[in-house]
């Protein structure tokens, strides 16, 4: 089966992850400058306010990095199509992170790459998540927690053309390396210690058991 053509944001994210497989996950905006100064080529913004969208978008663009924004955690902003249109206009992100599948098509219409989050609680949630990603034709999927290589490998087998991001609870170079070896396209983490490591360090950590 031919590989589905990626959106502009999806293609840019794939290229960014080839340069550096770690995504800076920013839960506290005070850490945004550190993320922008890091080796990471992409930023997942998980917390900000409606009044800060333009400034954040400008800062990330000036740093030459990709911005993905979690709509559900923007203070003062709604969770509907109008809110998404406002977000796209003000922050100009490459993509949208949301658990609201109803906004996926709206995101695509606005030129944003939607990222679907899969929370793995048990084997049933893994099956359900894979089916949900197929139904939404997800181009990017974030698997949480990202420290379960077996689950990452299972999703890679079932969704071979999808960018798979392992996120949540990833704290060591070895955990990053194991997720990548299992088939993850990249790893999102709020651990600032991982943002500036050389990509080769992750495979080395697996070999050395560190």
* Angle 186-32-145 from CA coordinates, rounded to 5°: 35
Q: Is 137 left (phi over 0), alpha (psi -120 to 50) or beta?
A: left
Of 4-13, 32-41, 148-157, the one with minimum mean pLDDT is: 4-13
User: Span 189-204, mean pLDDT?
Assistant: 97
Q: Is the pLDDT of residue 115 over 50?
A: yes
User: Which pTM value belongs to this model?
Assistant: 0.94
Q: Which domains does the chain have, with CATH numbers?
A: 8-208 (3.20.20.70)
pLDDT of res. 43 = 98
What is the tens place of the pLDDT at every residue in 164-180? 999 999 999 999 999 99
Question: What confidence score (pLDDT) does residue 44 get?
Answer: 98
Residue 4 pLDDT class (50, 70, 90 cuts): low
Residues 164 and 129 sit within 8 Å (Cβ to Cβ): no
pLDDT at 99: 77
Res 41 pLDDT > 90? yes
The rounded mean pLDDT for the chain is 93
């Amino acid at each position: 089966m031919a590989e589905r053509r990626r959106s502009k944001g999806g293609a840019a994210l794939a290229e960014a992850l080839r340069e550096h497989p770690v995504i800076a996950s920013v839960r506290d905006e005070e850490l945004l400058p550190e993320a922008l100064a890091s080796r990471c080529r992409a930023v997942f913004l998980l917390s900000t306010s409606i009044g800060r969208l333009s400034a954040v978008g400008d800062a990330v663009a000036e740093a030459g990095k990709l911005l993905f924004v979690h709509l559900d955690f923007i203070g003062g902003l709604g969770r509907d199509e109008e809110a998404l249109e406002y977000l796209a206009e003000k922050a100009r992100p490459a993509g949208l992170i949301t658990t609201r599948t109803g906004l996926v098509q709206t995101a695509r219409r606005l030129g944003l790459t939607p990222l679907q989050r899969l929370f793995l609680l048990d084997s049933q949630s893994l099956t359900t998540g894979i089916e949900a990603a197929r139904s939404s034709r997800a181009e990017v999927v974030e698997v949480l927690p990202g420290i379960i290589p077996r689950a990452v490998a299972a999703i890679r087998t079932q969704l071979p053309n999808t960018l798979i991001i392992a996120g949540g609870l990833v704290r060591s170079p070895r955990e990053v390396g194991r997720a990548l070896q299992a088939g993850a396209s990249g790893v999102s983490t709020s651990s600032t210690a991982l943002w500036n490591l050389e990509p080769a360090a992750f495979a080395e950590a697996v070999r050395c058991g560190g």
